[in-house]
């Protein structure tokens, strides 16, 4: 019965090797996620509202910032500053789009960046799109 034990050990070893790989992969994904989270725009900060802000406060923050950074209001600025204002205005719109949607807001609160939120939304859509048609 020694051979059987040897086989079991071999099997366990390969299983362990695979699990270790899995763990490394998980750690890598976590590290990537943390890096992306660190680099992402803080949409609450951009709208000047706390992370516990209500939908009303988010809307008010958005209106205020959008007015402040509206490119039409920055017509007297030089090219560089105007470009900067346009970028900021775009980011303010982005922030509002994410935070005013409960599903996207929840993903943002969990640490996803814009790209991550879009990926998650795609996945949700695919799941909701009745991906079970193949099983008949």
Q: Is residue 93 part of a domain?
A: yes
Average pLDDT of the residues in 23-34: 88
CATH of the domain at 36: 1.10.287.110
Average pLDDT of the residues in 22-39: 89
Q: Is residue 125 part of a domain?
A: no
Please give the structure tokens belonging to residue 110.
């969990």
Render pLDDT for 43-56 as a digit per residue (tens, 0 to 9). Answer: 999 999 999 999 99
Diameter of the chain measured on Cα atoms = 88
If one counts the domains in the chain, the total is 1
Q: Is residue 70 part of a domain?
A: yes
pTM: 0.74
Q: Is residue 130 part of a domain?
A: no
Render pLDDT for 108-131 as a digit per residue (tens, 0 to 9). Answer: 999 999 999 999 999 999 998 865
Confirm if 71 and 85 have CB atoms less than 8 A apart.
yes
Q: Is residue 118 part of a domain?
A: no
Q: Is residue 42 part of a domain?
A: yes
Identify the pLDDT of residue 135.
47
Interatomic CA distance for residues 13 and 136, integer angstroms: 39
Interatomic CA distance for residues 97 and 76, integer angstroms: 28
Confirm if 79 and 106 have CB atoms less than 8 A apart.
no
Interatomic CA distance for residues 54 and 99, integer angstroms: 10
Q: Is residue 39 part of a domain?
A: yes
Domain that holds residue 33: 3-100
pLDDT at 19 over 80: no
Q: Is residue 83 part of a domain?
A: yes
């Amino acid at each position: 019965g020694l051979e059987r034990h040897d086989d079991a050990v071999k099997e366990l070893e390969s299983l362990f090797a695979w699990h270790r790989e899995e763990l490394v992969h998980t750690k890598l994904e976590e590290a990537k996620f943390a890096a992306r989270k660190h680099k992402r725009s803080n949409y609450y900060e951009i709208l000047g509202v706390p992370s516990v802000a209500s939908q009303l406060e988010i809307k008010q923050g958005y209106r205020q910032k959008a007015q402040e950074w509206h490119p039409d209001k920055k017509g007297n600025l030089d090219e560089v500053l105007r470009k900067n204002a346009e970028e900021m205005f775009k980011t303010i719109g982005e922030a509002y789009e994410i935070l005013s949607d409960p599903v996207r807001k929840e993903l943002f609160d969990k640490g996803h960046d814009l790209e991550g939120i879009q990926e998650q939304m795609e996945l949700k859509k695919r799941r909701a799109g009745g991906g079970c048609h193949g099983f008949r």
